[in-house]
Amino acid sequence: MHIDILTLFPEMFHGVFQSSILNKAVERQQFTYELVNFREYSKNKHQKVDDYPYGGGAGMVLTPQPIFDAVEAVKSKRNSNPRVILMCPQGETLTQQKSEELAKEDHLIFICGHYEGYDERIREHIVTDEISIGDYVLTGGELGSMVVVDSVVRLLPDVLGNQQSAPQDSFSTGLLEHPHYTRPADFRGYKVPDVLLSGNHANIASWRRKQSLLRTWNRRKDLLDNMELTDEDKNTLKNDKSDEIL
By the 8 A CB rule, do 17 and 26 touch?
A: yes
Count of C-beta atoms within a 10 Å radius of residue 6: 28
Residue pLDDT, tens place only, 150-176: 999 999 999 997 664 555 443 333 788
Q: What is the mean pLDDT of the chain?
A: 91
H runs (alpha helix) in the chain: 14-17, 20-27, 64-78, 96-102, 120-125, 142-153, 201-219, 231-240
192 is in an annotated binding site: no
Mean pLDDT of 77-96: 95
138 is in an annotated binding site: yes
Give the integer Cα–Cα distance in Å for 239 and 243.
8
Mean pLDDT of 14-37: 96
Confidence band, pLDDT 50/70/90 cuts, at residue 231: very high
Residue pLDDT, tens place only, 88-146: 999 999 998 999 999 999 999 999 998 778 999 999 999 999 999 999 989 999 999 99
- CA–centroid distance for 213 within its chain: 20
133 is in an annotated binding site: yes
The residues that are catalytic are: 89, 116, 154, 169
Q: Is 49 exposed, middle or buried (0-12, 13-18, 19+ CB in 10 A)?
A: buried
The helices-and-strands tally (H runs, E runs) of the chain is 8, 10
Mean pLDDT of 41-59: 94
Query: What pTM, to 2 d.p., does this model score?
Result: 0.82
Confidence band, pLDDT 50/70/90 cuts, at residue 241: low
21 is in an annotated binding site: no
Confidence band, pLDDT 50/70/90 cuts, at residue 46: very high
Does 53 have pLDDT greater than 50? yes
Confidence band, pLDDT 50/70/90 cuts, at residue 86: very high
pLDDT value of residue 116: 79
Task: Give all strands of the β-sheet with 32-37 in edge-to-edge order.
Answer: 32-37, 2-7, 107-111, 83-93, 129-132
Give the integer Cα–Cα distance in Å for 36 and 34.
6
pLDDT value of residue 175: 87
By the 8 A CB rule, do 153 and 21 touch?
A: yes
The type of residue at 59 is G
Give the integer Cα–Cα distance in Å for 71 and 5.
10
pLDDT value of residue 35: 98
pLDDT value of residue 114: 84
135 is in an annotated binding site: yes
Cα-Cα end-to-end distance for the chain: 32
159 is in an annotated binding site: no
